[in-house]
């Protein structure tokens, strides 16, 4: 009985604040601290705020691109690492897990210094080689590309770990049978390997998308003039908390749950087939 009460208290502690955010998003008042039931006026204000829509669009572009690149390259790296053995395998494993455990602020600062140093070295070269001269030459700056690159490198380690765990439990007899039947490596991957590791690939994509969409620390350092949704929320909270913040959190939560349930439905359909 005590264990049930303890487990229930933990769940209330974890999910109670989330439920309160959803409830307070329907606040009809002007202040987030006091709840006046009930209304959806703040939803209308949020969806009509051009700054929120721009930040939300930036986050979707960055998270979608970074998750796609991380999934593709992480899956390729996981497949390749299965053929690596000995001390070299230990080194690669250490580097992969190091990318996960390093604090985000360290990654953000290191990425910022690296990119700024690289841009200072490349931009003069582009200006010297560009036909129009310095005024019309393209310049490398912080923005979409820098955030996508940083998020891709960070989340790719997550994909490698997830996909490798699935590969280790995969039935390799089917791959050997495919090779015995003279199937090409690409056909073996497409018809044998990929269907078996697809749940892990999809899980890696969803996790990469979530980490990239929710990231504030790394994006704060390398976003440049671009504003993502977490950066906008942080800036707005410094000016004061309004029900608009609760609306943003509720919409992001609803989108995350929809994405999760859609992935589960897709996996169930694949299993039935």
Provide CB contacts within 8 A for 76, sequence distance 6+. Answer: none
Return the SS3 of 172.
Answer: coil
Cα angle vertex 203, ends 95, 9, to 5°?
100
- Site of tokens 């690596």: 84
This prediction has a pTM of 0.82
Q: Is 134 helix (H, G, I), strand (E, B) or coil?
A: coil
223 half-sphere exposure, CB direction, 13 A CA radius: 22
Q: Count CB atoms within 10 A of the CB of residue 263.
A: 15
Structure tokens at 48: 């009509």
- Chain position carrying tokens 């455990």: 101
Task: Identify whether 92 is preceded by a cis peptide bond (ω within 30 of 0).
Answer: no
DSSP class of residue 26 equals T
- The rounded distance, in Å, linking the Cα atoms of 254 and 50 is 21
Question: How confident is the prediction along the chain (273 residues), in pLDDT tens digits per residue?
Answer: 778 888 888 888 888 888 888 887 777 666 666 666 777 777 888 888 888 889 888 999 999 999 999 999 999 888 888 877 778 888 888 888 888 888 888 888 888 898 888 888 888 887 777 776 666 777 778 888 889 988 998 889 889 988 888 887 777 777 777 777 777 778 877 777 788 888 888 888 988 898 888 888 888 888 888 888 888 888 887 777 777 888 888 888 888 888 778 777 777 776 666
Residue 249 near residue 25, CB atoms below 8 Å? yes
Q: What is the rounded distance in angstroms from the CA atom of residue 208 to the CA atom of residue 75?
A: 12
Residue of 4, 63, 17 lying closest to 209 (CA atoms)? 63
CATH number of 51-240: 1.10.3720.10
Domain boundaries of the chain, sorted by first residue: 51-240
CA distances from 88 to 73, 76, 83, 201 (A): 19, 17, 11, 25
């Amino acid at each position: 009985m005590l264990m049930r009460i303890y487990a229930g208290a933990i769940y209330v502690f974890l999910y109670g604040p989330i439920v309160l955010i959803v409830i307070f998003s329907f606040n009809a008042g002007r202040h987030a601290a006091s709840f006046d039931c009930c209304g959806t006026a703040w939803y209308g204000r949020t969806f009509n705020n051009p700054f929120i829509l721009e930040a939300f669009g930036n986050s979707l572009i960055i998270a979608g691109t970074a998750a796609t690149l991380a999934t593709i390259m992480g899956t390729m790296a996981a497949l390749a690492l299965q053929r690596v053995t000995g001390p070299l395998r230990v080194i690669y494993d250490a580097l992969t897990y190091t990318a996960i455990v390093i604090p985000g602020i360290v990654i953000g600062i290191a990425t910022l210094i690296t990119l700024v140093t690289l841009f200072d070295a490349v931009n003069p070269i582009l200006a010297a080689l560009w036909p129009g001269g310095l005024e019309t030459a393209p310049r490398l700056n912080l923005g979409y590309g820098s955030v996508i690159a940083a998020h891709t490198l960070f989340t790719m380690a997550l994909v490698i770990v997830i996909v490798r765990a699935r590969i280790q439990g995969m039935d390799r007899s089917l791959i050997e049978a495919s090779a015995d039947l003279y199937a090409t490596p690409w056909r073996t991957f497409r018809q044998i390997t990929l269907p078996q590791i697809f749940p892990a690939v999809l899980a890696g994509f969803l996790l990469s998308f979530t980490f990239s969409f929710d990231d504030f620390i790394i994006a704060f350092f390398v976003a440049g003039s671009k504003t993502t949704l977490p950066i906008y929320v942080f800036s707005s909270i410094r000016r004061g908390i309004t029900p608009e913040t609760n609306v943003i959190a509720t919409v992001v939560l609803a989108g995350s749950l929809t994405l999760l349930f859609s992935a589960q439905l897709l996996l169930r359909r694949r299993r039935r087939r």
